[in-house]
Amino acid sequence: MLRKCPDIALASALVLSLFFYQVLGHEVNGEEYGYEGNRGPSYWGNDYNTCVGKHQSPIDIEEHYVRNTTLLPLEFTGLHVPRAAKLSNNGHTVILKMEDSNNVRVSGGPLGHETYVFEQLHFHWGKNDLEGSEDLINNHSFAMELHAVFYKEEYGSMNEALNYPDGLTVLAYFFEVTNHPNPTFQTLVQRLPFIEEVDSTDFLPGPLMLESFLAPKPSTIENYFTYNGSLTTPPCSEVVIWIDFKDPFLLSHQQLAAFRNVRTSNGYRITHNFRPIQPLQDRVVYRNIPHVEYTSDMNPQHHHHPHHGYSGQLNMFPSIPIVVVTLFVSTR
Protein backbone atom coordinates (compact mmCIF):
# COMPACT_ATOMS: atom_id res chain seq x y z
CA MET A 1 0.00 0.00 0.00
CA LEU A 2 1.17 3.47 -0.87
CA ARG A 3 1.98 5.73 2.03
CA LYS A 4 0.14 8.96 1.70
CA CYS A 5 1.75 12.31 2.34
CA PRO A 6 -0.58 13.36 5.17
CA ASP A 7 0.47 10.28 7.14
CA ILE A 8 4.10 11.19 6.76
CA ALA A 9 3.42 14.80 7.67
CA LEU A 10 1.47 13.71 10.74
CA ALA A 11 4.21 11.31 11.78
CA SER A 12 6.87 13.99 11.31
CA ALA A 13 4.86 16.46 13.34
CA LEU A 14 4.52 13.92 16.13
CA VAL A 15 8.22 13.15 16.14
CA LEU A 16 9.10 16.83 16.10
CA SER A 17 6.73 17.70 18.91
CA LEU A 18 8.08 14.82 20.97
CA PHE A 19 11.58 16.14 20.31
CA PHE A 20 10.70 19.63 21.43
CA TYR A 21 8.79 18.32 24.41
CA GLN A 22 11.87 16.33 25.44
CA VAL A 23 14.39 19.05 24.77
CA LEU A 24 12.53 22.18 25.77
CA GLY A 25 10.77 20.52 28.67
CA HIS A 26 13.94 20.75 30.68
CA GLU A 27 14.44 24.38 29.96
CA VAL A 28 10.86 25.27 30.75
CA ASN A 29 10.30 23.42 34.00
CA GLY A 30 13.91 23.89 35.08
CA GLU A 31 13.83 20.87 37.35
CA GLU A 32 17.10 19.10 37.80
CA TYR A 33 17.83 15.49 38.46
CA GLY A 34 18.52 14.47 42.01
CA TYR A 35 19.10 11.44 44.23
CA GLU A 36 15.84 11.49 46.20
CA GLY A 37 12.11 11.06 45.56
CA ASN A 38 10.65 11.77 42.15
CA ARG A 39 13.84 13.36 40.83
CA GLY A 40 15.86 10.32 41.92
CA PRO A 41 17.75 7.77 39.79
CA SER A 42 14.76 5.48 39.14
CA TYR A 43 12.98 8.39 37.41
CA TRP A 44 15.89 9.62 35.27
CA GLY A 45 14.79 7.39 32.39
CA ASN A 46 11.52 9.35 32.07
CA ASP A 47 13.43 12.42 30.93
CA TYR A 48 16.55 10.82 29.52
CA ASN A 49 16.07 7.73 27.34
CA THR A 50 19.67 6.69 27.57
CA CYS A 51 19.43 6.23 31.34
CA VAL A 52 17.52 3.00 30.66
CA GLY A 53 20.11 1.81 28.12
CA LYS A 54 21.86 -1.55 28.16
CA HIS A 55 25.40 -0.42 28.98
CA GLN A 56 24.88 1.79 31.99
CA SER A 57 27.12 2.66 34.90
CA PRO A 58 27.77 2.12 37.71
CA ILE A 59 28.01 -1.67 38.02
CA ASP A 60 29.04 -4.24 40.59
CA ILE A 61 32.43 -5.68 39.61
CA GLU A 62 32.58 -9.29 40.74
CA GLU A 63 36.27 -10.23 40.78
CA HIS A 64 35.38 -13.85 40.27
CA TYR A 65 33.90 -13.07 36.84
CA VAL A 66 36.37 -10.55 35.45
CA ARG A 67 38.59 -11.50 32.53
CA ASN A 68 42.31 -11.04 32.97
CA THR A 69 44.20 -9.21 30.28
CA THR A 70 47.47 -7.35 29.86
CA LEU A 71 47.13 -3.90 28.41
CA LEU A 72 49.63 -1.23 27.44
CA PRO A 73 50.88 0.66 30.49
CA LEU A 74 48.79 3.73 31.30
CA GLU A 75 50.77 6.83 30.52
CA PHE A 76 50.10 10.31 31.83
CA THR A 77 51.56 13.59 30.70
CA GLY A 78 51.46 16.91 32.54
CA LEU A 79 50.51 15.42 35.90
CA HIS A 80 53.61 16.62 37.75
CA VAL A 81 53.23 20.28 36.72
CA PRO A 82 51.80 22.44 39.54
CA ARG A 83 48.65 24.21 38.31
CA ALA A 84 46.03 26.51 39.79
CA ALA A 85 42.96 24.51 40.78
CA LYS A 86 39.40 25.81 40.99
CA LEU A 87 36.71 24.11 43.05
CA SER A 88 33.03 24.55 42.33
CA ASN A 89 29.64 23.25 43.43
CA ASN A 90 27.19 22.50 40.59
CA GLY A 91 24.40 21.41 42.93
CA HIS A 92 25.19 17.72 42.36
CA THR A 93 28.82 17.38 43.32
CA VAL A 94 32.13 19.11 44.03
CA ILE A 95 34.11 19.70 40.82
CA LEU A 96 37.78 20.51 40.50
CA LYS A 97 39.12 22.04 37.31
CA MET A 98 42.71 22.85 36.50
CA GLU A 99 44.25 25.81 34.76
CA ASP A 100 45.86 24.81 31.46
CA SER A 101 44.36 21.34 31.79
CA ASN A 102 44.48 20.55 28.07
CA ASN A 103 48.10 19.68 28.74
CA VAL A 104 47.07 16.92 31.15
CA ARG A 105 46.62 13.72 29.17
CA VAL A 106 46.34 9.98 29.49
CA SER A 107 46.83 7.16 27.00
CA GLY A 108 47.62 3.45 27.11
CA GLY A 109 45.70 0.77 28.96
CA PRO A 110 42.28 0.23 27.35
CA LEU A 111 42.78 3.53 25.48
CA GLY A 112 45.57 2.04 23.38
CA HIS A 113 47.44 4.69 21.44
CA GLU A 114 44.59 7.20 21.66
CA THR A 115 45.08 10.29 23.80
CA TYR A 116 42.50 11.67 26.23
CA VAL A 117 42.56 15.19 27.66
CA PHE A 118 41.71 16.08 31.26
CA GLU A 119 38.43 17.96 31.72
CA GLN A 120 37.59 17.87 35.43
CA LEU A 121 37.39 15.66 38.48
CA HIS A 122 34.53 15.31 40.94
CA PHE A 123 33.31 13.13 43.79
CA HIS A 124 30.47 10.80 44.77
CA TRP A 125 29.72 10.08 48.41
CA GLY A 126 27.12 8.62 50.75
CA LYS A 127 25.02 9.39 53.83
CA ASN A 128 27.61 7.66 55.99
CA ASP A 129 31.07 6.15 55.69
CA LEU A 130 29.70 2.70 54.77
CA GLU A 131 28.49 3.71 51.32
CA GLY A 132 29.11 6.33 48.68
CA SER A 133 30.97 4.78 45.75
CA GLU A 134 29.14 4.21 42.47
CA ASP A 135 30.85 1.09 41.17
CA LEU A 136 31.02 -1.68 43.75
CA ILE A 137 33.69 -4.36 43.98
CA ASN A 138 32.39 -7.76 45.09
CA ASN A 139 29.27 -5.90 46.18
CA HIS A 140 31.36 -3.74 48.50
CA SER A 141 30.56 -0.04 48.55
CA PHE A 142 33.38 2.37 49.35
CA ALA A 143 32.92 5.59 51.31
CA MET A 144 33.63 7.82 48.33
CA GLU A 145 34.68 7.73 44.70
CA LEU A 146 36.68 10.26 42.70
CA HIS A 147 36.03 10.51 38.96
CA ALA A 148 38.69 12.09 36.76
CA VAL A 149 37.00 12.82 33.42
CA PHE A 150 39.03 12.93 30.19
CA TYR A 151 37.70 13.41 26.63
CA LYS A 152 39.28 11.95 23.49
CA GLU A 153 41.65 14.53 22.02
CA GLU A 154 40.53 13.71 18.48
CA TYR A 155 37.03 15.05 19.25
CA GLY A 156 38.34 18.43 20.34
CA SER A 157 36.02 19.08 23.27
CA MET A 158 34.04 17.40 26.01
CA ASN A 159 30.71 18.29 24.38
CA GLU A 160 31.72 16.87 21.01
CA ALA A 161 33.18 13.74 22.60
CA LEU A 162 29.79 12.92 24.14
CA ASN A 163 28.63 11.96 20.65
CA TYR A 164 30.98 8.98 20.34
CA PRO A 165 31.07 5.59 22.09
CA ASP A 166 34.77 6.07 22.89
CA GLY A 167 34.39 9.77 23.65
CA LEU A 168 35.38 9.74 27.31
CA THR A 169 37.47 7.88 29.76
CA VAL A 170 36.78 8.21 33.45
CA LEU A 171 39.44 7.22 35.94
CA ALA A 172 37.77 6.10 39.16
CA TYR A 173 39.47 6.05 42.56
CA PHE A 174 37.86 4.63 45.69
CA PHE A 175 38.15 5.93 49.25
CA GLU A 176 37.90 4.09 52.55
CA VAL A 177 37.48 5.63 55.98
CA THR A 178 40.37 5.60 58.42
CA ASN A 179 41.32 7.33 61.67
CA HIS A 180 43.79 9.81 60.26
CA PRO A 181 43.22 12.72 57.90
CA ASN A 182 44.81 12.27 54.48
CA PRO A 183 47.18 15.22 53.89
CA THR A 184 46.93 14.83 50.08
CA PHE A 185 43.26 15.81 50.16
CA GLN A 186 43.32 18.15 53.15
CA THR A 187 43.79 21.38 51.13
CA LEU A 188 40.75 20.52 49.05
CA VAL A 189 38.67 19.49 52.07
CA GLN A 190 39.53 22.76 53.85
CA ARG A 191 38.01 24.75 50.97
CA LEU A 192 34.69 22.83 50.96
CA PRO A 193 33.01 25.20 53.48
CA PHE A 194 33.54 28.00 50.93
CA ILE A 195 31.58 26.27 48.17
CA GLU A 196 28.61 24.99 50.15
CA GLU A 197 26.21 27.14 48.13
CA VAL A 198 25.31 26.02 44.62
CA ASP A 199 27.34 27.65 41.82
CA SER A 200 29.94 28.97 44.24
CA THR A 201 33.62 28.60 43.38
CA ASP A 202 36.91 28.87 45.19
CA PHE A 203 40.56 28.42 44.34
CA LEU A 204 42.85 26.07 46.21
CA PRO A 205 45.36 28.23 48.11
CA GLY A 206 48.38 26.92 46.20
CA PRO A 207 49.05 25.16 42.91
CA LEU A 208 48.14 21.49 42.77
CA MET A 209 50.06 18.63 41.20
CA LEU A 210 47.38 16.30 39.85
CA GLU A 211 49.84 13.46 40.20
CA SER A 212 49.08 13.26 43.92
CA PHE A 213 45.41 12.48 43.12
CA LEU A 214 45.68 10.50 39.90
CA ALA A 215 48.98 8.64 40.04
CA PRO A 216 49.98 8.38 43.70
CA LYS A 217 52.12 5.28 43.08
CA PRO A 218 53.30 3.52 39.90
CA SER A 219 51.84 0.26 41.16
CA THR A 220 48.41 1.85 41.75
CA ILE A 221 47.93 2.85 38.14
CA GLU A 222 48.61 -0.63 36.81
CA ASN A 223 46.15 -2.28 39.15
CA TYR A 224 42.69 -1.66 37.73
CA PHE A 225 39.46 -2.97 36.23
CA THR A 226 38.12 -1.63 32.96
CA TYR A 227 34.78 -1.84 31.17
CA ASN A 228 32.58 0.15 28.80
CA GLY A 229 29.73 2.08 30.36
CA SER A 230 28.03 5.41 30.73
CA LEU A 231 27.95 8.72 32.52
CA THR A 232 26.42 8.03 35.94
CA THR A 233 24.33 11.20 35.78
CA PRO A 234 21.77 12.28 33.16
CA PRO A 235 21.90 12.13 30.21
CA CYS A 236 23.68 8.82 31.05
CA SER A 237 25.42 8.78 27.64
CA GLU A 238 27.06 5.41 26.90
CA VAL A 239 30.38 6.92 25.93
CA VAL A 240 32.72 6.04 28.78
CA ILE A 241 35.71 3.72 28.98
CA TRP A 242 35.86 3.17 32.73
CA ILE A 243 39.15 2.54 34.51
CA ASP A 244 38.63 1.65 38.19
CA PHE A 245 41.76 1.52 40.32
CA LYS A 246 41.74 -1.16 42.99
CA ASP A 247 43.90 0.51 45.66
CA PRO A 248 41.68 2.84 47.68
CA PHE A 249 42.73 6.17 49.15
CA LEU A 250 42.12 6.67 52.86
CA LEU A 251 40.24 9.65 54.33
CA SER A 252 39.19 10.40 57.89
CA HIS A 253 35.54 10.50 58.94
CA GLN A 254 35.76 14.31 59.30
CA GLN A 255 37.18 14.71 55.79
CA LEU A 256 34.37 12.60 54.33
CA ALA A 257 31.74 14.44 56.38
CA ALA A 258 32.83 17.82 54.95
CA PHE A 259 31.49 16.78 51.53
CA ARG A 260 28.01 16.19 52.97
CA ASN A 261 27.66 19.89 53.86
CA VAL A 262 27.73 20.95 50.21
CA ARG A 263 24.25 22.00 49.07
CA THR A 264 21.92 21.49 46.10
CA SER A 265 20.17 24.27 44.17
CA ASN A 266 17.25 23.89 46.60
CA GLY A 267 19.50 24.51 49.54
CA TYR A 268 19.43 20.93 50.82
CA ARG A 269 22.65 19.21 51.84
CA ILE A 270 23.97 16.70 49.30
CA THR A 271 23.99 13.85 51.78
CA HIS A 272 24.53 11.31 49.00
CA ASN A 273 25.08 11.48 45.25
CA PHE A 274 25.77 7.97 44.01
CA ARG A 275 23.63 6.17 41.43
CA PRO A 276 22.63 2.58 42.26
CA ILE A 277 24.31 -0.19 40.25
CA GLN A 278 22.96 -1.09 36.82
CA PRO A 279 22.81 -4.50 35.06
CA LEU A 280 26.06 -5.67 33.45
CA GLN A 281 24.08 -7.21 30.53
CA ASP A 282 26.41 -8.60 27.86
CA ARG A 283 29.49 -6.69 28.96
CA VAL A 284 32.78 -8.09 30.16
CA VAL A 285 34.86 -6.44 32.86
CA TYR A 286 38.61 -6.79 32.41
CA ARG A 287 41.32 -6.77 35.02
CA ASN A 288 44.71 -5.50 33.96
CA ILE A 289 47.56 -7.84 34.82
CA PRO A 290 50.69 -5.72 34.49
CA HIS A 291 53.34 -7.44 32.44
CA VAL A 292 56.22 -5.81 34.21
CA GLU A 293 59.37 -7.40 35.47
CA TYR A 294 61.43 -5.41 37.87
CA THR A 295 65.14 -5.89 37.30
CA SER A 296 67.67 -5.40 40.05
CA ASP A 297 67.90 -1.68 39.31
CA MET A 298 64.07 -1.52 39.36
CA ASN A 299 63.63 -0.34 35.79
CA PRO A 300 60.33 -1.69 34.57
CA GLN A 301 60.71 -3.83 31.45
CA HIS A 302 57.63 -3.98 29.32
CA HIS A 303 57.79 -7.04 27.12
CA HIS A 304 54.76 -7.29 24.97
CA HIS A 305 51.37 -5.68 24.79
CA PRO A 306 48.81 -8.17 23.62
CA HIS A 307 45.54 -6.73 22.47
CA HIS A 308 42.57 -7.51 24.54
CA GLY A 309 39.60 -8.79 22.61
CA TYR A 310 37.20 -6.16 23.68
CA SER A 311 35.01 -5.11 20.89
CA GLY A 312 33.83 -1.87 22.42
CA GLN A 313 30.29 -2.59 21.28
CA LEU A 314 28.16 0.10 22.72
CA ASN A 315 24.65 1.23 22.09
CA MET A 316 24.81 4.62 20.53
CA PHE A 317 21.74 6.69 21.12
CA PRO A 318 21.11 9.61 18.81
CA SER A 319 22.77 12.51 20.50
CA ILE A 320 20.88 15.73 20.83
CA PRO A 321 23.36 18.50 21.61
CA ILE A 322 20.81 20.54 23.58
CA VAL A 323 20.14 17.61 25.89
CA VAL A 324 23.84 17.17 26.38
CA VAL A 325 24.23 20.82 27.23
CA THR A 326 21.74 20.50 30.10
CA LEU A 327 24.34 18.38 31.85
CA PHE A 328 26.67 21.30 32.09
CA VAL A 329 24.39 24.27 32.28
CA SER A 330 22.39 24.74 35.41
CA THR A 331 18.71 24.94 34.46
CA ARG A 332 17.55 26.53 37.66
Residues that bind Zn ion (CB under 5 A): 147
- Under 8 Å between Cβ of 88 and 95: yes
Q: In whole angstroms, how close is the CB of 292 to Zn ion at the nearest point?
A: 29
Residue nearest to Zn ion (CB): 147
Q: Pick the closer one to Zn ion by CB: 147 or 260.
A: 147
User: Is 92 a known active-site residue?
Assistant: yes
Instruction: Collect all residues with Cβ–Cβ distance below 8 Å to 213 and sequence separation of at least 6.
Output: 121, 146, 148, 173, 184, 185
- The single residue of 26, 92, 124, 308 carrying the catalytic annotation is 92
Q: In whole angstroms, how close is the CB of 236 to Zn ion at the nearest point?
A: 11
Q: Pick the closer one to Zn ion by CB: 147 or 287.
A: 147
Q: In whole angstroms, how close is the CB of 1 to Zn ion at the nearest point?
A: 50
Handedness of CA 75, 81, 87, 90 (dihedral sign): negative
- Under 8 Å between Cβ of 92 and 264: yes
Q: Pick the closer one to Zn ion by CB: 104 or 236.
A: 236
Q: Pick the closer one to Zn ion by CB: 70 or 230.
A: 230
- Under 8 Å between Cβ of 137 and 145: no
CB atoms within 10 A of CB 304: 6
Distance CA 278, CA 43 (A): 14
Q: In whole angstroms, how close is the CB of 125 to Zn ion at the nearest point?
A: 11
Instruction: Collect all residues with Cβ–Cβ distance below 8 Å to 329 and sequence separation of at least 6.
Output: none
Handedness of CA 69, 71, 73, 75 (dihedral sign): negative
Q: In whole angstroms, how close is the CB of 122 to Zn ion at the nearest point?
A: 6
Q: Pick the closer one to Zn ion by CB: 72 or 249.
A: 249
Which residues, in sequence order, are bridge partners of residue 83? 208
Helical ranges in 150-264 per DSSP H: 158-161, 183-191, 211-214, 253-259
Helical ranges in the chain per DSSP H: 5-29, 44-47, 158-161, 183-191, 211-214, 253-259, 321-328
- Please identify every residue annotated as catalytic: 92
